[in-house]
Structures are given as C-alpha cells and as structure tokens.
C-alpha cells in the first residue's frame, strides 16, 4: 500500500492540460507520456492492452473521471499517468464530459495492486476538497501537490 501511495504522489507522468477529444486520444497521449519509462518493457503490448480493455467496458468510475487501465505484460511494475483535461473529454458515449484521466497499468499477476490503486483514485476523487484542488491546479507542479495532498487527506 505504501508503494502505491508513493506512486500516487510521484506518478510516472502528469499532464496538466491534457488535450484529447475522445477516450482513445486520451489514452494515446497518456501512453506516450509514460512509454519511455523504465517500468514499460513493451510499449506496443501496453498500448494494445489498454485499447483492448477500453473496448470491453466503461472505465469511468464517476461521470467526470476516467481510469483507463490494463493488467499487461507490457510493464514490470505499476505505471500511473495522470492527465487533467484542458476541455472536457467525451471519453465514451456514457461519459461525455470527463475532466480527469488516470491511466493505470499493472503487471498481469498483480490483481490486488491494481484494485488497490483504482480504489485509491476513486477515494481521492470522492473527497471533495482534493477533487477541487486537482481541478484547480494551475500547472503540473500544482497538480502533483494536489495529488499528494489528496492521498494524505483520504489516508487520515
């Protein structure tokens, strides 16, 4: 759990102004941001698995939040990329105005780690002050600070 919190405080990539019109585009941008990270051992597999999962079923736990994810052989350890939409993203037909996107990739065997990080994201987003801080952050630095504060708040 501690490792996951650390990952949340220091994600692999943070994009304060994510420009994407659709869920696929959002996934592509965030993937590009993390594709060169050491944890990513096979970028193509990662992207393919992310797209495959996107097509299977909704990845939005809330109306303004999307968590595209994949348990994939493309990564060695958990990878997290955070993007705040510059303008609301039509992530899927049921979620036309997503404001925040968390891309999560975990190695295939790590089911519990995957659930833990998705749960943590949901809790931070449910926490009103954290959610407001994330949406109001001026830049990448402020967004990282808001993420750290959000984790701290839900862990209290």
119 makes contact with other proteins (CB under 8 A): yes
Tokens representing residue 20 in the block: 């994407």
Nearer to other proteins, 4 or 16 (CB): 4
Which segment (25-33, 39-47, 60-68, 82-90) binds other proteins by CB under 8 A? 60-68
Site for other proteins in 15-44 (CB under 8 A): none
**Interface pick for other proteins out of 96, 126, 139, 141 (rule CB under 8 A):** 126
Nearer to other proteins, 9 or 73 (CB): 73
- Give, in degrees to the nearest 5, the angle at Cα 112 between 104 and 129: 55
Rounded Cα gap, residues 149 and 155, in angstroms = 10
Query: Which is nearest to 11 in space by CA: 156, 122, 155, 146?
Result: 146
5 makes contact with other proteins (CB under 8 A): no
**Interface pick for other proteins out of 9, 62, 90, 148 (rule CB under 8 A):** 62
Q: Is the CA virtual torsion 118, 100, 90, 35 positive or negative? A: negative
Tokens representing residue 59 in the block: 């990845």
Q: Which residue has the tokens 């941008």?
A: 29
Name the site residues for other proteins (rule: CB under 8 A): 53, 56-62, 67, 69, 71, 108-109, 111-112, 114-115, 118-119, 122, 125-129, 153-154, 156
């Amino acid at each position: 759990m501690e490792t996951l919190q650390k990952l949340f405080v220091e994600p692999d990539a943070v994009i304060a102004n994510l420009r994407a019109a659709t869920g696929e585009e959002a996934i592509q941008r965030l993937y590009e941001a993390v594709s060169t990270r050491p944890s990513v051992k096979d970028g193509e597999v990662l992207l393919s698995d992310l797209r495959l999962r996107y097509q299977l079923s909704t990845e939005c736990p809330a109306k303004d939040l999307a968590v595209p994810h994949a348990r994939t052989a493309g990564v060695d350890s958990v990878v997290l990329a955070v993007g705040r939409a510059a303008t609301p993203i039509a992530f899927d037909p049921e979620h036309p105005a997503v404001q925040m996107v968390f891309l999560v990739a975990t190695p295939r065997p790590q089911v519990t780690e995957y659930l833990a990080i998705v749960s943590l994201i949901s809790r931070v987003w449910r926490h009103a002050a954290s959610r407001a801080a994330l949406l109001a952050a001026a830049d990448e630095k402020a967004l990282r600070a808001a993420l750290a504060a959000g984790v701290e708040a839900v862990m209290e």
